[in-house]
């Protein structure tokens, strides 16, 4: 028997030399048809048709990563932590390997030549889609897929590290991890810089292009935005708002302070009202849902699976979970309204980046969700839900006073609408210096305190109140913070245009009617995907490019009662 199995082993080894070749698998091609979604329709440029297949598959992979990410945050058993982290980061690397494959480069060149030679065969959506494909390729082509794999892994790990160091108020324990994040992002930014040759061919910077490392991180979150533009908008607004804050505080002193919330607000009841509000603003629950996590809220998802994640409700304060729901709901409306039927998975169907995302979130959360009319709509429903008919803390005027109370604080997440900008400004200066090597982590707590004193007039007493409070740097989001302030500016600008288009908007909010608002947003912004630059979009809607002036007007109207 032993001799027989010895020989059969050798037969097998010999057979290995004659292994059958794999069946020929033809590359998927698109076909043509009159009613076919653009995503699946064959284009006269064969190279572009091939690229559409490639990007559809990359988009599918990205959708799988999103779904795994939601699971990671909300449902996964603790024991799956390491393996799930490995699965997510592996898929992330695979996705980037697929994006920078040599055939993508060849097809892009061929398709771009076709577009130049036969412009009549390209409509505006196809042209925009090709432009976005090229932009994605340029973004990734010089960055090793291993770096993206590490970025994905550290981003999920960062949430856990942040939760632990924040709970322990342990800045020393945070530093090593943050340094690793900074080094990784500097490496990614330098690789991206090397993909873009200087247009003037020298290093003198005379071509006007900002080649600082921070610029490359900023534009990853906000395509088309420059550090110089952020500075211009921030400087302009800062000069005005620093004059206004003392006047707002002075005016506030003369009115009665709001009654704080009292009693117990059952988390299940909070979840119910939050879901009901999402339905009211037009969120589609057949393609999404609302979930809770023990940690920070998370934006994102796909148009077919938009699972909003907020922090677990606090039974002493329903306003926090509601604020978070409205914020994530604004993101959710944007994501669900993207052009999924025609262009699902294609780069042109993506959102316009963090600034426009935040504009949609802040429009719902801060601009509309803090109107007196909104609280007038809400108050009787809250009285019923929390069984507090006539309770002074649940009255519309009191809720409005609570949510518009201005109080300089060390805490960004609980900052009021007026001083919120300064929190962003402080983080913008600090993260830029950290990336550019002008500030070390050893010096960060002091620099943080100094800037807080200068811009907000308060100083954190502990690291947890200071540079440990935000999750952003722990998950590698350098260059994201400016999106909040820019998004706030954009939201105010969009709201002004909305008010021009339907002057009875406030009475609609009072009646809990948001259908006209959400239809308007979907038509003008959400369904446009990445068809045009954010400034072209704003110009179409408002007649002007991004400006801080409408935000200033909004703050003056709401907080100084100037019309
Ligand atoms: Zn947001």
Confirm if 422 and 456 have CB atoms less than 8 A apart.
Answer: yes
**Structure confidence at residue 356 (pLDDT):** 98
Residue 300: C-alpha distances to residues 297, 331, 344, 371 (Å): 10, 7, 15, 26
Predicted confidence (pLDDT) per residue in 336-380, tens digit: 999 999 999 999 999 999 999 999 999 999 999 999 999 999 999
Q: In the structure, what pLDDT confidence band is assigned to residue 77 with cuts at 50, 70 and 90?
A: confident
Ligand 1 centre from 357 Cα, in Å? 7
Q: In this model, does residue 237 exceed pLDDT 90?
A: yes
Predicted confidence (pLDDT) per residue in 499-542, tens digit: 999 999 999 999 999 999 999 999 999 999 999 999 999 999 99
Ligand 1 centre from 528 Cα, in Å? 20
| Long-range CB contacts (within 8 A, 24+) of 77-84 | 81/160
Confirm if 276 and 327 have CB atoms less than 8 A apart.
Answer: no
Cα(468)–Cα(465) distance, rounded to whole angstroms? Answer: 7
Q: Return the sign of the alpha-carbon dihedral for residues 416, 421, 422, 425.
A: positive
**Structure confidence at residue 21 (pLDDT):** 80
Ligand 1 centre from 42 Cα, in Å? 37
The domain defined by 227-560 folds into: 1.10.1370
As a whole number, mean pLDDT of residues 85-104 equals 91
Cα(317)–Cα(485) distance, rounded to whole angstroms? Answer: 26
Ligand 1 centre from 507 Cα, in Å? 27
| Long-range CB contacts (within 8 A, 24+) of 401-404 | 401/255, 401/256, 401/257, 401/258, 402/258, 402/260, 402/261, 402/319, 403/319, 403/323, 403/370, 403/375, 404/370, 404/558, 404/559
Ligand 1 centre from 172 Cα, in Å? 29
> Strand runs (DSSP E) across 274-356, as ranges?
288-293, 306-311
Ligand 1 centre from 145 Cα, in Å? 27
Confirm if 97 and 145 have CB atoms less than 8 A apart.
Answer: yes
Tokens of 555: 């703050």
Q: In this model, does residue 230 exceed pLDDT 70?
A: yes
Beta-bridged to residue 290, according to DSSP, are 308
* pTM to 2 decimal places: 0.93
Ligand 1 centre from 114 Cα, in Å? 39
Cα(438)–Cα(429) distance, rounded to whole angstroms? Answer: 11
Ligand 1 centre from 317 Cα, in Å? 20
For residue 253, the tally of other CB atoms under 10 A from its CB is: 8
For residue 111, the tally of other CB atoms under 10 A from its CB is: 25
Of the listed ranges 19-28, 314-323, 454-463, the one predicted with least confidence: 19-28
Tokens of 439: 């500030």
| Long-range CB contacts (within 8 A, 24+) of 421-426 | 421/237, 421/238, 421/241, 421/485, 421/488, 422/238, 422/241, 422/455, 422/456, 423/456, 424/481, 424/482, 424/484, 424/485, 425/234, 425/238, 425/455, 425/485, 426/451, 426/452, 426/455, 426/456
Ligand 1 centre from 168 Cα, in Å? 26
Ligand 1 centre from 236 Cα, in Å? 23
Confirm if 496 and 264 have CB atoms less than 8 A apart.
Answer: no
Ligand 1 centre from 139 Cα, in Å? 23
**Structure confidence at residue 20 (pLDDT):** 79
As a whole number, mean pLDDT of residues 544-555 equals 97
As a whole number, mean pLDDT of residues 542-550 equals 97
Ligand 1 centre from 309 Cα, in Å? 11
Nearest to 367 by CA among 563, 560, 555: 555
**Structure confidence at residue 424 (pLDDT):** 98
Which is higher by pLDDT, 109 or 28?
109
**Structure confidence at residue 36 (pLDDT):** 84
Tokens of 350: 């993506």
Predicted confidence (pLDDT) per residue in 155-194, tens digit: 989 988 999 999 999 999 999 999 999 999 999 999 998 8
Cα(473)–Cα(367) distance, rounded to whole angstroms? Answer: 27
Ligand 1 centre from 85 Cα, in Å? 24
Ligand 1 centre from 333 Cα, in Å? 12
Q: In the structure, what pLDDT confidence band is assigned to residue 12 with cuts at 50, 70 and 90?
A: low
Confirm if 295 and 159 have CB atoms less than 8 A apart.
Answer: yes
Continuous segment of H or E residues that includes residue 361: helix 354-362
**Structure confidence at residue 518 (pLDDT):** 96
Ligand 1 centre from 163 Cα, in Å? 19
**Structure confidence at residue 74 (pLDDT):** 78
Ligand 1 centre from 275 Cα, in Å? 18
**What values do phi and psi take at 413, rounded to 5?**
-65, -30
Cα(13)–Cα(305) distance, rounded to whole angstroms? Answer: 49
Ligand 1 centre from 561 Cα, in Å? 28
Ligand 1 centre from 487 Cα, in Å? 9
Predicted confidence (pLDDT) per residue in 256-297, tens digit: 899 999 989 999 999 999 999 999 999 999 999 998 877 777
Cα distance from N-terminal residue to C-terminal residue, the chain = 98
Ligand 1 centre from 288 Cα, in Å? 17
The per-residue pLDDT of the chain, averaged, comes to 91
Cα(340)–Cα(418) distance, rounded to whole angstroms? Answer: 36
Of the listed ranges 25-34, 307-316, 423-432, the one predicted with least confidence: 25-34
115-128 burial, b at 16+ Cβ within 10 Å, e below that, comes to beeeeeebeebbeb
**Structure confidence at residue 301 (pLDDT):** 83
Q: In this model, does residue 119 exceed pLDDT 90?
A: yes
Cα(411)–Cα(464) distance, rounded to whole angstroms? Answer: 10
> Strand runs (DSSP E) across 264-383, as ranges?
288-293, 306-311
Ligand 1 centre from 2 Cα, in Å? 68
Ligand 1 centre from 272 Cα, in Å? 22
Predicted confidence (pLDDT) per residue in 479-489, tens digit: 999 999 999 99
Predicted confidence (pLDDT) per residue in 385-419, tens digit: 998 888 999 999 999 999 999 999 999 988 999 99
């Amino acid at each position: 028997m032993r001799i027989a199995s010895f020989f059969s082993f050798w037969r097998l080894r010999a057979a290995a030399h004659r292994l059958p070749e794999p069946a020929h698998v033809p590359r998927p091609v698109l076909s043509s048809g009159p009613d076919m979604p653009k995503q699946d329709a064959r284009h006269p440029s064969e190279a572009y048709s091939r690229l559409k297949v490639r990007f559809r598959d990359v988009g599918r992979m990205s959708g799988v990563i999103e779904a795994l990410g939601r699971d990671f945050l909300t449902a996964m058993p603790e024991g799956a932590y390491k393996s799930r982290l490995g699965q997510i980061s592996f898929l992330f690397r695979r996705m980037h390997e697929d994006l920078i494959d040599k055939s993508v480069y060849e097809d892009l060149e061929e398709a771009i030549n076709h577009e130049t030679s036969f412009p009549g065969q390209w409509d505006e959506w196809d042209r925009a889609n090709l432009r976005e494909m090229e932009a994605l390729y340029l973004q990734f082509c010089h960055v090793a897929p291993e770096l993206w794999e590490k970025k994905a892994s550290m981003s999920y790990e960062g949430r856990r590290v942040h939760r632990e160091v924040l709970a322990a108020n342990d800045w020393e324990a945070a530093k090593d991890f943050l340094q690793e994040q900074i080094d990784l992002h500097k490496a990614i930014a330098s690789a991206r810089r090397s993909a873009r040759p200087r247009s003037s061919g020298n290093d003198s910077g005379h071509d006007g292009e900002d080649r600082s490392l921070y610029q490359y991180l900023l534009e990853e979150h906000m395509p088309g935005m420059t550090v110089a533009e952020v500075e211009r908008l921030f400087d302009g607004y800062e000069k005005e708002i620093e004059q206004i804050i003392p006047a707002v505080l002075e005016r506030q002193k003369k009115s009665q302070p709001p009654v704080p919330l009292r009693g117990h607000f059952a988390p299940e009841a909070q979840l119910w009202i939050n879901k009901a509000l999402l339905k009211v603003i037009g969120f589609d629950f057949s393609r999404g849902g609302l979930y809770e996590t023990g940690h920070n809220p998370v934006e994102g998802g796909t148009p077919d699976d938009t699972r909003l994640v907020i922090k677990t409700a606090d039974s002493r304060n329903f306003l926090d979970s509601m604020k978070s729901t409205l914020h994530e709901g604004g993101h959710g409306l944007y994501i669900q309204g993207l052009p999924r039927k025609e262009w699902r998975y294609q780069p042109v169907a993506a959102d316009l980046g963090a600034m426009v995302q935040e504009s949609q979130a802040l429009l719902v959360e801060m601009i509309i969700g803090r109107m007196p009319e909104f609280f007038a709509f809400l108050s009787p429903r809250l009285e019923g839900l929390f069984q507090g008919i006539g309770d002074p803390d649940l009255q519309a005027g009191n809720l409005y006073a609570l949510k518009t109370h201005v109080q300089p604080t060390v805490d960004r997440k609980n900052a009021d609408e007026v001083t919120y900008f300064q929190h962003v400004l402080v983080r913008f200066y600090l993260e830029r210096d950290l990336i550019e090597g002008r500030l070390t982590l050893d010096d960060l707590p002091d620099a943080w305190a100094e800037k807080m004193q200068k811009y907000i007039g308060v100083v954190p007493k502990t690291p947890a109140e200071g540079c440990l409070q935000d999750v952003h740097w722990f998950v590698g989001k350098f260059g994201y913070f400016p999106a909040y302030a820019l998004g706030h500016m954009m939201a105010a600008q969009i709201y002004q245009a909305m008010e021009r288009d339907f002057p009875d908007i406030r009475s609609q909010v009072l009646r809990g009617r948001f259908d006209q608002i959400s239809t308007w947003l979907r038509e003008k912004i959400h369904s446009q995907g990445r068809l045009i630059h954010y400034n072209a979009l704003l110009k179409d809607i408002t007649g002007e490019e991004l400006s801080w002036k409408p935000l200033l007007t909004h703050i003056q109207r709401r907080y100084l009662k100037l019309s």
